[in-house]
Amino acid sequence: MPGDHRRIRGPEESQPPQLYAADKEEEPAARDPTRLRPVYARAGLLSQAKGSAYLEAGGTKVLCAVSGPRQAEGGERGGGPAGAGGEAPAALRGRLVCDFRRAPFAGRRRRAPPGGGEERELALALQEALEPAVRLGRYPRAQLEVSALLLEDGGSALAAALTAAALALADAGVEMYDLVVGCGLSRVPVPPSTWLLDPTRLEEERAAAGLTVALMPVLNQVAGLLGSGEGSSTESWADAVRMGIEGCQRLYPVLQQCLVRAARRRGTPAPP
Amino acid sequence: MAPPVRYCIPGERLCNLEEASPGSGTYTRHGYIFSSLAGCMTKSSENGALPVVSVMRETESQLLPDVGTIVTCKVSSINSRFAKVHILYVGSTPLKNSFRGTIRKEDVRATEKDKVEIYKSFHPGDIVLAKVISLGDAQSNYLLTTAENELGVVVAHSESGVQMVPISWCEMQCPKTHTKEFRKVARVQPEFLQT
């Protein structure tokens, strides 16, 4: 038969469609709601950055680098009363500029680099949580740049980024009042709506609500709180915050050891 | 044998305010001294006074120009009212990122402040020793002054590109063309001169 140009020819062979169907998603396994995934933290790994830190918690991998202090770009800032203890007045305090980036290979689908509003919102959350911990009054007219790169999102990415950023700042020799430790939580959609500490990516995707708590462990002050999702009773949210605070306190000794090891690797300072 | 080194992290409680007094890299709160840096804790025992506790890192953390420090800067542009400079060194430590500073007309010298001509004191490209008088407000840069004998131009190049030799506090001469140019010259202390 001469070529039939009005019809679309299918392939010569055919295969069953099940071959091309996506794998069935596994349900997240039942687990202890207060378990924290083991964390690997290392500070001082980048030679070019002033301070750097790498944090791995389960499948979440975050790399954070700090540079500065450099001359702050001009900006209108209102005057304010001078801070105590020889620090610059409020108008001249240093600035913290945070940048949160998600690598294109971080999630299941490739996401093009300008990630839009989500990255900007998380960068703002990072800045709000880190500001109370850094002694910005000691860096007048200067700005410190913190950039966090999420290499793989395995759940509670913002919490891991917060912790890595605080470690990087401490590694850079920036004066801080205390470290900032972050912890993520998510609420199970089916009743009983229990809160799960340190959710994995699967648990986060199916959650009805999510919360990230940033805590300064020694001062025992909450530095940042970011939550979203379906409303429920206020007691439930308050319980979640308490759980997050406990989780942060449990994480603190690991970070302490990590910084001490990094300081030891750098070597002892020469006597003055 | 070297004493064991104690490493500390920001926020770690070091000791009571009664046992020691706070030094650099620490802050006090509720009667205790906390560390503010991730480094080594050193306790210096003084005779009579309380020992001073401070936290040190092996590299001096980035110095920022502070009020009263002598800085070395390079003139970037001049104006009839002020000269804009880039601050390169604070004391003797170089800065990784330069800061901007301003030397106003009335801060160039101590006498006859209103008769100063910036063009006769600095030229773009001169290396100047100055002192920080103020951090400035939010919009302006660091305010510097050269109104002392030891402050002013240290290195300047003439129109022909040769480094000039100072002959008085207000003049420098080019060794090649022997032309004199006006500058506010610094009287550098003899111990800082290298021959």
By the 10 Å C-beta count (0-12 exposed, 13-18 middle, 19+ buried), B182 is classed as middle
Angstroms from B120 CA to nearest CA on chain A: 29
| pLDDT at residue A78, rounded to an integer | 40
| pLDDT at residue B1, rounded to an integer | 46
Same structural domain, B100 and B186: yes
Same structural domain, B98 and B185: yes
Task: Provide the mean pLDDT of chain B.
Answer: 86
Same structural domain, B157 and B75: yes
Domain at B48, CATH number: 2.40.50.100
Taking the Cβ of residue B40 and every Cβ of chain A, the question of whether any pair is shorter than 8 Å is answered with: yes
Task: Quick: pLDDT tens for B87-115.
Answer: 998 888 888 888 889 999 998 988 888 88
Which residues of chain B make contact with A142, given a CB cutoff of 8 A?
64
pLDDT confidence band for B194 (50 / 70 / 90): low
Q: Is the pLDDT of residue B166 over 50?
A: yes
List the single residue in A68, A88, A177 with the smallest CB-CB distance to B135.
A88
Which residues of chain B make contact with A171, given a CB cutoff of 8 A?
38
| pLDDT at residue A242, rounded to an integer | 94
Does A266 or B77 have the greater pLDDT score? Answer: B77
Q: Tokens 């560390």, residue?
A: B35
| Nearest residue of B to residue A272, measured between CA atoms | B56
Same structural domain, B105 and B167: yes
Least confident of A201-215, B24-38, B55-69: B55-69
Can you tell me the distance from the alpha carbon of B26 to that of B14, in angstroms, rounded to the nearest whole number?
Answer: 9
Domain at B74, CATH number: 2.40.50.140
- DSSP letters spanning chain A: ----SSS----SS---GGGGSPPPPPPPPP--TT----EEEEES--SSSSEEEEEEETTEEEEEEEEEEEEPPP------PBPSSSPPBGGG--EEEEEEEE-TTSSSS---S--THHHHHHHHHHHHHHGGGB-GGGSTTEEEEEEEEEEE--S-HHHHHHHHHHHHHHHTT--BSS--EEEEEEE-SSSS--EEES--HHHHHT-SEEEEEEEETTTTEEEEEEEEES---HHHHHHHHHHHHHHHHHHHHHHHHHHHHHHHHH-PPPP-
Characterize the bridge pairing of strands B32-35 and B26-29: antiparallel
pLDDT less than 70: residues of chain A: 1-2, 23-26, 74-91, 268-272
Same structural domain, B11 and B93: no
Which residues of chain A make contact with B62, given a CB cutoff of 8 A?
68-69, 173
ipTM value, please give it.
0.77
Same structural domain, B44 and B83: no
Task: Quick: pLDDT tens for A161-216.
Answer: 999 999 999 999 999 999 999 999 999 887 778 899 999 998 888 888 999 999 99
Q: Tokens 């295969």, residue?
A: A15
| pLDDT at residue A92, rounded to an integer | 74
| pLDDT at residue A222, rounded to an integer | 95
Same structural domain, B92 and B178: yes
| pLDDT at residue A79, rounded to an integer | 40
Q: Is position B28 within any domain?
A: yes
Same structural domain, B14 and B80: no
Domains contained in chain A, CATH given: 17-267 (3.30.230.70)
Domain that residue B23 falls in:
6-56
Query: What is the number of structural domains in chain B?
Result: 2
